[in-house]
Structure 1
Amino acid sequence: MSTLVVPDAVPSVFEDCEQLRKAFAGWGTNEGLIISILGHRNAEQRKLIRQTYAEAYGEDLLKELDRELTNDFERVVLLWALDPADRDAFLANEATKKSTSRYQVLMEIACTRSSNHLLHAKQAYHARFKRSLEEDVACHITGDFSKLLFPLVSSYRYEGDEVNMTLAKSEAKILYQKISEKAYSSEDLIRVLATRSRAQINATLNQYKNEFGNDINKDLKTDPNDEFLALMRTTVKCLTRPEKHFEKVLRLAINRRGTDEGALTRVVTTRAEVDLKIIADEYQRRNSVPLDRAIGKDTTGDYEKMLLALAGRAHA
């Protein structure tokens, strides 16, 4: 469920481009004007704005924004202005080069997007970086992390609701056996998580709990400090309850000393047109504070206003 508020009567794309051009003119940038336009346009409308702007002024709107804006506000606007598949390609490429939380970003893109979206993101990656995402994951990530992430980013899952209960029972046993043996990076365990449809994985994990007594993530918590097990648990959560994963990312980004703007920006820009409403409901249930109020308390200025616009505040 999207939180994006698009006005009933959207101005013509030419008018939007003209207004954006005005926002860049003169001595100072009119950030409020940028927010009022880009913060209230859906992906299709933003794409049309980028195309029309290039045709009308011979300038790349993204480069103009990059030139005019700074810091966290610049990042949130630039990420938002990108086509969703292109945005994920950019974030994935950034993640292959970074050491901090990069595994989680790649896993999010692999496990919380539809099969078609992941395919389009990989095509955008090709076009932008002249390499494949799989190639960069194989090149930059090693060991057990590569064993898990490579098949996840290579996946094209069935999206339907069909479930094979015989398979769910047999694969629940395989998962239990491998986890009991502490063979966490075994091919069989990873194959189930990386290839089965979400409906099939849910059936398998329900079977696992019914037959062996524990939620699988409890059994994957034998060592809370093991980074690979943490990634396995996050993979399971993203495949089964993505709103719980994103709620936790937001909670950690907002509720500690010093905001993690990178994580906050990533979740808001990638989920605003998908399920940010569901994530916000989960956030309020878990923290007894509305998400927009938490964001407003933790951020300032134009960055705050843009985030709040994407989080659904119509007047932001």
Structure 2
Amino acid sequence: MSTITVPAHATSITDDVDQLHKAFSGFGTNEKLIISILSHRDAEQRKQIRDTYAATYKEDLLKSLDKELSNDFERLVLLWTLSPPERDAYLANEATKRWTKSNQVLVEIACTRSTHDLLLAKQAYHAKYKKSMEEDIAYHTTGDFRKLMLPLIATCRYDGTEVNMTLAKTEAKLLHEKIDDKCFNDDEFIRILTTRSKCQLNATLNQYKNQFGEDIIKELEEDSKDEYISLLRATLECLTYPEKYFERVLRLAINKTGTDEGALTRVVATRAEVDMKVIKEEYLKRNSVPLDKAIAKDTRGDYEDMLLSLIGCADE
């Protein structure tokens, strides 16, 4: 479901490194060359490029990019060049800072990554910041959201496909009771969301709709002005239908007055190798406009070119 296109024949990492170094040399930076290489290399290839670049030129490629690029294009290239665990660690750390605080980003990382990928992100966080992701999230969140977020980030959720239908029916009823009573911060409500496998949770939500005639996420829309309820809704979407969630993030980022480049950059950088193909299909279905056309309308220059290349539309 990735949208990046990688050369059919293996490329020479040494050649890539030499070309990138040339892109930084002389008068001005060759942004087109940077895009043509980095946007067409998968995570393992990008790691090899960084390792070889550091060994050859005694400088982290990220530092070279940081010196040569600027603005939204720079952020997109830097996020993309990071390994997925490093990227998640960086975004999570940034999301806990005073000036860049974003609980939504924390939900995305906790709920759309596999158990293994979340573990790698937490390990990368520990290596980079010399403390745990849980520690910073606990310090920088409060109240009901902290109560939800800590078990979400700390859990070792089962990733298998086995489903207990009896349990799904029982817990659907329990969730309905809590929502009816508006007990959104109830311990049992949070326990189900933070410990059940994604397949089991999907079965529970399907049973919820079958038994009570309404989608649980739509029922939460009634209280969408409450930040905690909005984050609870995002949690359910990220756990059960992340492609639909990310389509909505993109739609709001592009269609609002003034593009939200931060959200657009984050979604493209984190989902291009995961499920961007499905996100594009959802976007077209929901908006009757292809995602690449919407991006091209709202962005310009090298930033636009990099975005389109990562979503597989640069040559369309």
- Name the counterpart of 1:257: 257
Deviation, structure 1 residue 211: 1.5
1:94 match: secondary structure: helix
Letter in 2 for 1:192: I
Provide the rounded CA distance (Å) in 2 between the counterparts of 1:296 and 1:6.
Answer: 22
Provide the rounded CA distance (Å) in 2 between the counterparts of 1:263 and 1:118.
Answer: 20
Deviation, structure 1 residue 172: 1.2
Q: Is the contact between residue 4 and residue 40 of structure 1 (CA under 8 Å) also seen in structure 2?
A: yes
Instruction: Establish whether residue 283 from structure 1 lines up as the match of residue 268 from structure 2.
Output: no
Q: Give the ranges of 4+ consecutive aligned residues of structure 1 lying more than 6 Å apart after TM superposition.
A: none
Provide the rounded CA distance (Å) in 1 between the counterparts of 2:305 and 2:91.
Answer: 22
Deviation, structure 1 residue 148: 0.9
- Name the counterpart of 1:188: 188
Provide the rounded CA distance (Å) in 2 between the counterparts of 1:222 and 1:6.
Answer: 44
- Name the counterpart of 1:221: 221
Letter in 1 for 2:205: L
Provide the rounded CA distance (Å) in 2 between the counterparts of 1:291 and 1:98.
Answer: 32
Q: Is the contact between residue 47 and residue 83 of structure 2 (CA under 8 Å) also seen in structure 1?
A: yes
Instruction: Establish whether residue 235 from structure 1 lines up as the match of residue 232 from structure 2.
Output: no
1:220 match: secondary structure: helix
Mean alpha-carbon deviation: is it higher for 285-294 or for 215-224?
A: 215-224
Provide the rounded CA distance (Å) in 2 between the counterparts of 1:38 and 1:121.
Answer: 22
Q: 1:143 to 1:60 in 2, by over 3 A?
A: same
Instruction: Establish whether residue 303 from structure 1 lines up as the match of residue 306 from structure 2.
Output: no
Deviation, structure 1 residue 99: 6.2
- Name the counterpart of 1:244: 244
Q: Is the contact between residue 5 and residue 313 of structure 1 (CA under 8 Å) also seen in structure 2?
A: no
Q: 1:100 to 1:26 in 2, by over 3 A?
A: closer
> 1:226-283 deviations in whole A, cap 9, x for unaligned?
1111111111111111111000000011111111000000000000000000000100
2:96 match: secondary structure: helix
- Name the counterpart of 2:269: 269
> 1:60-102 deviations in whole A, cap 9, x for unaligned?
1000000110000100000000000100000010001146671
Instruction: Establish whether residue 7 from structure 1 lines up as the match of residue 20 from structure 2.
Output: no
Deviation, structure 1 residue 315: 3.6
Provide the rounded CA distance (Å) in 2 between the counterparts of 1:43 and 1:23.
Answer: 21
Deviation, structure 1 residue 10: 4.0
Deviation, structure 1 residue 3: 0.2
1:221 match: secondary structure: helix
- Name the counterpart of 1:135: 135
Deviation, structure 1 residue 15: 0.3
Q: Is the contact between residue 168 and residue 203 of structure 1 (CA under 8 Å) also seen in structure 2?
A: yes
Instruction: Give the TM-score of the pair, scaled to structure 1.
Output: 0.97
- Name the counterpart of 1:64: 64
> 1:80-129 deviations in whole A, cap 9, x for unaligned?
00000100000010001146671110000111111100000000000001
Q: 1:124 to 1:221 in 2, by over 3 A?
A: same
- Name the counterpart of 2:202: 202
Pairwise CA RMSD: 1.3
> 1:174-226 deviations in whole A, cap 9, x for unaligned?
11111111110111101101110011001111111112222112322332311
Q: 1:98 to 1:304 in 2, by over 3 A?
A: farther
Gaps of 5+ in 1: none
Deviation, structure 1 residue 29: 0.7
- Name the counterpart of 1:169: 169
Q: Is the contact between residue 202 and residue 240 of structure 2 (CA under 8 Å) also seen in structure 1?
A: yes
Provide the rounded CA distance (Å) in 2 between the counterparts of 1:159 and 1:224.
Answer: 29
Provide the rounded CA distance (Å) in 2 between the counterparts of 1:29 and 1:302.
Answer: 12
Equivalent residues, number: 316
Letter in 2 for 1:186: D
Provide the rounded CA distance (Å) in 1 between the counterparts of 2:17 and 2:190.
Answer: 47
Counting aligned pairs with the same residue, the percent is 65
Deviation, structure 1 residue 314: 5.0
